[in-house]
Amino acid sequence: MEKTIGFNNLKVGQRVKVKGNPAESSGFSALEVSIKAGDDECALEGKIQSLDPEKNSLRLLNRDFMVNGGVEIRNVQRQPIKLQNLKAGDIVKLKGPYSESKGFAPVKVKLQEPKGFNIEELQGKINKIDAAAKTLDVLGFTVVTNDKTEIQGF
């Protein structure tokens, strides 16, 4: 039986940062889960898979996000840019609110420095825990943990 050390210390409502990679359908394979201080900010970070400036959307972590006119977009130097200045392959961090009914709605997009490796990230509250399956629901993603997942901060 696989044992994920620290999994039982996680609780619904805790804010966590999850590092890993997108998995099938709405999944996210966790390499590391760390408990974060309790503010309400939610964020996603990853590589842009595709971009459609005409539809004001970008695809990240196998999901499409609307980036309408009210969304603040900044480059690495924190200067304002337009959606058209971004391209597939760029690493971005999206910040905004999340609700189960509406999903994640970005209000800020910031271009990140490439890190030389591709680890993507979710930051938000745990909405649901399935102890038997060792999964968490964070920002609408089913976060899958296993015996190699590091759980920190408990």
Structural domains of the chain ordered from first start: 13-152 (2.40.50.320)
pLDDT at position 1: 39
Q: Reduced to 3 states, what is the DSSP secondary structure of residue 137?
A: strand
Encode the chain (154 residues) as per-residue pLDDT tens digits. Answer: 345 678 998 999 999 999 999 987 779 999 999 998 877 789 999 999 999 999 999 999 999 999 988 899 999 999 999 999 999 999 999 999 999 898 999 999 999 998 777 789 999 999 999 999 999 999 999 999 999 999 998 7
Sign, CA torsion 21/81/68/58: negative
Q: Provide the pLDDT for residue 153.
A: 83
- The Cα–Cα gap between 84 and 36 comes to 33
pTM: 0.90
User: What tokens appear for 38 in the block?
Assistant: 């309790």
Nearest C-alpha neighbor of 44 from the set 104, 86, 85, 132? 104
